[in-house]
Structure 1
């Protein structure tokens, strides 16, 4: 069992794998009441046979109803949230790749800088490369980033 995690902590790959493994190992969901086995017995009823979860007595009141809704749908909700997380991460990575490519394309279309006659060409080239690398690595958070007009 993993240690309790502060709600503000980012989800580490290890913690995500633990959650996914627990969801995958659990009885399929959603879990539904099955009075045949008792007033508070819940099971997955969607398969060829009954898969029992067990007796879950949530008590009475609105909080009990909310607890019940959360619990009986947890496995499917967790699987859907993990799938959405993976999709959002993939979209983010694709967007980052597009932005980096656009920045690189914009840099190649930019006018060449001019330097004083007595400026060392090597120093000027190193300065431009440094700016290029910083922008390529950090995107619009780079210290030297200036967006194109109309962008």
Structure 2
């Protein structure tokens, strides 16, 4: 089967524009969309961790998928958004993290046959950390982020903070 989804006929998702491309995530992991605010620096963090912010009285890391996956510098402007997502682990110190978006995410009702694996991806890109899958939605390339891999890098950073 060449579709990424194989369990449900449709899934409510958000299409998130990030520097260098687009990501797609199910609504069930999205907590809130916030206007951009300058984050605090996190010492010894990977280049794709933009910083951290205090959200709901917790230190919440902010990441750039543009830096991690598309290898572009993270720039923010008045249209930038922070998409707060639930983590998949049970670590109480990291219940959420933020993803830097270039604009407000677009809600979509994703039909099963609309998301296809992207056959035009270089072999080296298939193994990039932070990517669960390269896909195509409405003939446009999108990524499905690997939230577990991202969390694994963020957990030690939050423990130090």
Which bin holds the TM-score, normalised by the shorter protein? Answer: under 0.3
Normalization by structure 2: what TM-score? Answer: 0.25
Higher strand share: 2
Q: Relative contact order (C-alpha < 8 Å, sep 6+): which is higher? A: 2
Report the structure, 1 or 2, having the larger helix content. Answer: 1
Select the structure of larger CA radius of gyration: 1
TM-score by length of 1: 0.26
